[in-house]
Amino acid sequence: MGKTAIRTVGEVSLDKPATEHTNIHNRWHPDIPFAGSIKDGETVKIECLDWTGGQIGNNDSADDIRNVDLTRVHCLTGPFEVEGAQPGDILLVEIMDVQPFQDQPWGFTGVFHKENGGGFLDEIYPSAAKAIWDFEGIFATSRHIPHVKFAGIIHPGILGCAPSAEVLETWNKREAELISANKLERDVALPPELKGVHAGAADAALKEKVGREGARTIPGRPEHGGNCDIKNLSRGSKVYLPVHVPGAKFSVGDLHFSQGDGEISFCGAIEMAGVITINFKVIKNGVADLGLKSPIYLPGPVEPQFGPGRHIYFEGFSVDEHGKQHYMDVAVAYRQTTLRCIEYLRRFGYNDYQIYLLLSSAPIQGHVAGIVDIPNACTTLGLPVDIFDFDIMPSGPAKALDMGICAFETGVTKGEVTAGGKNSERSFGGGLTYKASVVEKVKEAVSG
């Protein structure tokens, strides 16, 4: 009864060359045989080699980048039949998750040599270079680019359905025209190429045909998407892909742990091998209904904010400042939470009344965190760190500034409530450090 693990439809082995896989291809062609079948509505896992098919090592030399064989890229997993999909339909692809392989938690970014691949700035940066990235959960760091850590917006660089013969012919024609008109000293497009072809389960004759006719996977193309390299086409995104052949022949690969807009250095994303979890739905007649010429997508709900949340959150419980245990009293818990925050900010030189005024007026976040774990209600208070013009982040002892004073009623001796006075020595117990009546101490503090 119940769910078991999600079915995997495209299994790859990192120990075998790409050529030995019958579910890997690196040309777009309608005749490449199906590598498996997926039901309309099904969610499956698809495993992917890195885009080079394992040509790049986790080491400190960029010679593998220098000498990479670009005719052998990109290694796509597929093509998969999606049952019921027909030309004119849309394949709605929802990306449920992307993960690196558990036992290979690393990826790479490369600068191709100007004479072998190049990139956006190759006239300025002609040499080959490389950075290896280590993955720890959602984060990437690199020994080659120190002092940087970020959460990946993990995504596939390439996904799409196979072109029909007619679409493929259009591609080959218009790109050939560009190539023949080229007067630059660099490649402007890559024609079909027999060398380095992967054609999945194709026999020799078909493989040769795929090599001779098949479109290269380098560019994205308007009719099907392909290598779009869109940095936030990530978890939760829904992509609407036109279907050109019966069964859709969907393929995916070129997984990126992260990428900047433009994928600037060409091998620019954090390239990795891994697993993508996808839900497939067929939208009948969708191309006409939506007037779709090129794919569209809806971004997912989990794009990182970049930077941790800019709030410090304080926790409070229904144990009051006298150490007394209350039963699930949310007001007591929230009062304690505010006292925690007052103690924290007092270290920077504010008197308590200034902070009390500030917490009332600044946009702090007050949450009911847990309301069912007897006897303690738990509340939290989020203090936005960026409302201060100095650094209040938790890091070592605080340096008190001259904070002046707020307005008081007549009779309150102002010196007594400023930082450095008795005020700053007070402490509101959480059961442990409380020693005397807080009310009395405050009365003393503020009335001098």
Sign of CA dihedral 250, 251, 257, 263: negative
Q: Cβ of residue 280: shortest distance to its own copies, in angstroms? A: 12
433 sits near its own copies (criterion: CB under 8 A): yes
Query: Among residue numbers 155 through 194, which ones bind its own copies (CB under 8 A)?
Result: 167, 170-171, 174-175, 177-178, 182, 184, 187-190
Single-letter amino acid code for the residue at 290: L
Q: Which is nearer to its own copies, 23 or 379 (CB)?
A: 379
Per-residue contact string for residues 13-52; x = within reach of its own copies by CB under 8 A: ------------------------------x---------
Q: Which is nearer to its own copies, 19 or 232 (CB)?
A: 232
281 sits near its own copies (criterion: CB under 8 A): no
Q: Collapse the DSSP code of 416 into the 3-class scheme (helix H, G, I; strand E, B; otherwise coil) and give the result.
A: helix
Q: Taking the CA atoms of the chain, what radius of gyration do you get in angstroms?
A: 30
Q: What is the DSSP letter of 335?
A: H
Number of residues that bind its own copies (CB under 8 A): 222
Q: Which residue has the tokens 């498996």?
A: 36
Choice from 185, 432, 435, 436 touching its own copies (CB under 8 A): 432
Single-letter amino acid code for the residue at 30: P
Choice from 51, 80, 250, 317 touching its own copies (CB under 8 A): 317
Per-residue contact string for residues 234-263; x = within reach of its own copies by CB under 8 A: -xxxx-x----------------xxxxxxx
Q: List the one residue out of 288, 270, 248 whose CA is nearest residue 155.
A: 270
Rounded (10°) angle between helices 352-361 and 330-346: 120
Q: Cβ of residue 284: shortest distance to its own copies, in angstroms? A: 10
Query: Among residue numbers 411 through 430, which ones bind its own copies (CB under 8 A)?
Result: 412, 427-430
Sign of CA dihedral 123, 125, 126, 131: negative
Q: Which is nearer to its own copies, 24 or 153 (CB)?
A: 153
65 sits near its own copies (criterion: CB under 8 A): yes
Report the alpha-carbon distance of residue 203 to residue 28 in Å, rounded: 16
Q: Which is nearer to its own copies, 206 or 405 (CB)?
A: 405
Q: Cβ of residue 205: shortest distance to its own copies, in angstroms? A: 29
CB atoms < 10 A from the CB of 32, how many?
Answer: 25
- Reading the block at residue 328, the tokens are 């699930």
Q: Which is nearer to its own copies, 84 or 304 (CB)?
A: 304
Beta strand 129-136 pairing with 106-111? antiparallel
